[in-house]
Chains A and B, each alone.
Chain A
Amino acid sequence: MKGRVLVVDDDSALAEMLGIVLRGEGFEPYFVGNGDHALAAFRDARPDLVLLDLMLPGRDGIEVCRQIRGESGVPIVMLTAKTDTIDVVVGLESGADDYIVKPFKPKELVARVRARLRRTEDPAPEQLTIGDLDIDVAGHAVHRGDEAINLTPLEFDLLAALARKPWQVFSREVLLEQVWGYRHAADTRLVNVHVQRLRSKIEKDAEHPDIVVTIRGVGYKAGPA
């Protein structure tokens, strides 16, 4: 398993501790302590995953998240001390795939990191269609006709999960388990925010989606082809 992890955190003690834990699990950590240098460090390290503290000197975590997302679909996991709805939602909307609330246990962290890196293992060749989109699972590509649509790995997984079983309505909890790899019920806001983000990329009209359809009170399903 590839394991280059960029830790963006200004707290040197926490960063060092994260390094110890990550190394112990076989990952290769890189560190940057300032939001302004985060993007440069990201380009140098070319990590497979970014651990990003939301509270940073210089550019804050949200801004860094947007920058990285601007040039890469690499998984981003936020570290946050806040559990208030607005912070988490803003972080997710700025492009993060998942978040962990401080204080967390090493096992929890490692599980999240693994879950995000899991999908980068080589998938079997598979061709799916959803709505008017063609999905090449092995090639990690989505096309509408000849037009390629750029999705992050997580968004891709979400779309693929829905497309594999177009007859099934997925509850948010089921999606959390299948796409994010959560065992227990977690924050369903993750799903809401990512569905919104996915829709903004693939729907012709994100206000009236017809590829990822909301089933009120149940969850989401693939729209009719």
Chain B
Amino acid sequence: MTGRRLGRPLGRPLGRRLGARWRRSLQLRVVATTVLLSGVVVLLIGAVLIQQLVAGLLGAKEDAARSEVQAGLGTAQLQVDSFDRGDPGSARELLGGVISTLGNRAGAGGRYDVVLLSSSGRQAAGTSGFVSNEIAVSSIPRDLRDVIAVRRVPAYRYVDIRYVDGRPSAPGLAYGGPLDVPGGGAYELYYLYPLTQEQETLDLVQRTLAFAGLGLLLLIGLIGLLVARQVVAPVRMAARTAERLSAGRLHERMQVRGEDDLARLAMSFNTMAASLQAQIRQLEELSRLQRRFVADVSHELRTPLTTVRMAADVLHEERQTFHPAVRRSAELLQHELDRFEALLAELLEISRFDAGAAALDAEPVDLRDVARRVVEAAQPLADRFGVERSGRLRLQVPATPCVADMDRRRIERVLRNLVVNAIEHGGGHDVVVRVAAGIDAVAASVRDHGVGLNPGEEQRVFDRFWRADPARARGIGGTGLGLSIAVEDTRLHGGRLEAWGQPGGGAHFRLTLPHRVGEPVTASPIPLVPDDALALPAGVPVVVSEPPVPVTAGRRHG
């Protein structure tokens, strides 16, 4: 799934790449969301667990400490009460004894240390006191001492136990109570319990929990990935299959595995594809049969037509010896046979386009030469039509070549069609043929000043057998297929054939061809709306059209 994207430029900002991944990959979103939510849950559970554990561990410690301190205080009170008041020197001795007695109770393991401090001197800097082991007196926080010294009740604090011998300090519990030494003043007795072990236990549990949590998250991530994969993979496969189907590979199907929802998706997908394929096949077959029919008819007509043609020719040659009515009949026969033949030829040409059998034989050609030949050949027709209004057929070409890849025969046919059309519908006015070259295209246009096109006609002008005015057009030659064939010829080149018209303002047809067959045409070097268009009164529509371009536009046939 990532392999396809390896070719991407690496310069893109990471954030945007990730964003794109996030939007595109359902799998990534599923996995990320799962892991994130599970992470929150694991954290919560961990926090509660640790809290419970701490409470349990410390609660037990505090209970033990309370009873030990009370017992210690009782023992110490008894010892000091029995103390002989007159001898201050022995008071120190006695207190030292008390401390060592109490300290000894802790046993060899040093479960706790005992500190005895005088309450009266607690404000002074070098407070004197009795300390078992190497405990620094500063381990006992001032606020604890204040509480005990003033309120004379037992109290405790969690402290940092410091040592005078340079050992690192350790966390601990300081539990203390008041001790009244008769004649010696008020003292405070503290028991200091190091919590190193508890801390270690806690650390261990925390580490274990963290590792377990991470492992769990990883596992959940993997599970999410796996589950998402199971769902996403068929969806992706469906997408790929659909892409291939739409690319025309109608045989593509999805794999159906199992009987679950995804299998159902695959099955429905395949059913859809099959029915689409069947319908397309049917349409293709129908259209093929129809085209085949047209081709066959055109083809089968040719043999009898050849006989008729020859017979008519023989009659035509001998027409001078006939009765005038028969002679005229022979002439009409000959003339109409020409039309019939032209029609048949164009029908066959159209059917070849429809069958996709038209092949382009393109080579670089100067469009000016083609236009010259066409204009030259159409001159006699133009002279005949232009007699009344002295209209002329004119050619405007640039001095520089207008070369593009084209099938000379086809383009000549397109131009001939446009020119003959313009002459026949130009009402005897001037017809102007222009040729020009642009950046990526060459163009030829034919402008007439006849009746032009009415609104609505622009869509139909390229239609088969369409005539602007049936009554008028019949009298003129033309088969009604000329412009349709011109459109197909243009399409084969990947070019454009467009029409502009104005009621009473004449018409302008423009052929634009890319320099190379199949390259896109962005702009035509000749404007479609001619310079000499009538200044339009408001409300008179200008007709500009382009025949609809089918999906096969620009593709090489055959």
Contacts and interface: CB of A to CB of B under 8 A. Distances in A.
Q: Do A and B interact?
A: yes
Contact of A81 (B299, B308, B314, B341): B299
B310 A21 contact: yes
A84 interface: yes
Given A81-B299, A82-B299, A84-B357, A102 B310 contact: no
Max chain A C-beta neighbours (<10 A), residue from B306, B313, B348: B306
Contacts of A102: 302-303, 305-306
B299 A24 contact: no
A21 B311 CA distance: 9
Q: Majority SS of interface residues in chain B?
A: helix
A20 interface: yes
A13 B307 contact: yes
Interface stretch (A89-97, A104-112, A129-137, A158-166): A104-112
B359 A85 contact: yes
B305 A105 contact: no
Nearest to A101: B302
A152 B357 CA distance: 33
22 contacts: A11-B307, A14-B303, A14-B304, A14-B306, A17-B306, A17-B311, A24-B314, A81-B299, A81-B303, A83-B348, A84-B352, A85-B359, A102-B303, A102-B306, A103-B305, A103-B341, A104-B309, A105-B309, A105-B310, A105-B313, A106-B310, A107-B313
Contact of B302 (A13, A17, A103, A105): A103
A109 B310 CA distance: 10
A113 interface: no
Interface of B: 299, 302-311, 313-314, 341, 344, 348, 352, 357, 359
Contacts of A62: none
B519 to A, nearest CB: 23
B304 A13 contact: yes
Contacts of B311: 17
Contacts of B313: 105-107
A107 B304 CA distance: 18
Max chain B C-beta neighbours (<10 A), residue from A24, A105, A109: A105
A21 B304 CA distance: 16
Given A81-B299, A82-B299, A104 B306 contact: yes
A18 interface: yes
A21 B315 CA distance: 11
Interface string A7-22: 0000101100110110
B306 A21 contact: no
A106 B310 CA distance: 6
Nearest to A14: B307
Contacts of B305: 102-103
Contact of A21 (B299, B314, B341, B359): B314
Contacts of B302: 81, 102-103
Nearest to B558: A85
Given A21-B310, A105-B313, 10 more contacts: A11-B303, A11-B304, A13-B304, A14-B307, A17-B307, A20-B310, A81-B302, A85-B359, A106-B314, A107-B313
Max chain A C-beta neighbours (<10 A), residue from B304, B310, B311, B341: B310
A104 B305 CA distance: 9
Interface string A139-164: 00000000000000000000000000
Interface string A99-127: 00011111101000000000000000000
B309 A103 contact: yes
Contacts of B309: 103-105
Contacts of B357: 84
A103 B341 CA distance: 8
Nearest to B338: A105
* Those 9 A-B pairs whose CB atoms lie nearest each other, nearest first: A103-B306, A81-B302, A102-B302, A102-B306, A103-B305, A103-B309, A14-B307, A17-B307, A17-B310
A17 B304 CA distance: 11
Contacts of A83: 348
A82 B311 CA distance: 22
B353 to A, nearest CB: 13
Contacts of B348: 83
Contacts of A105: 309-310, 313
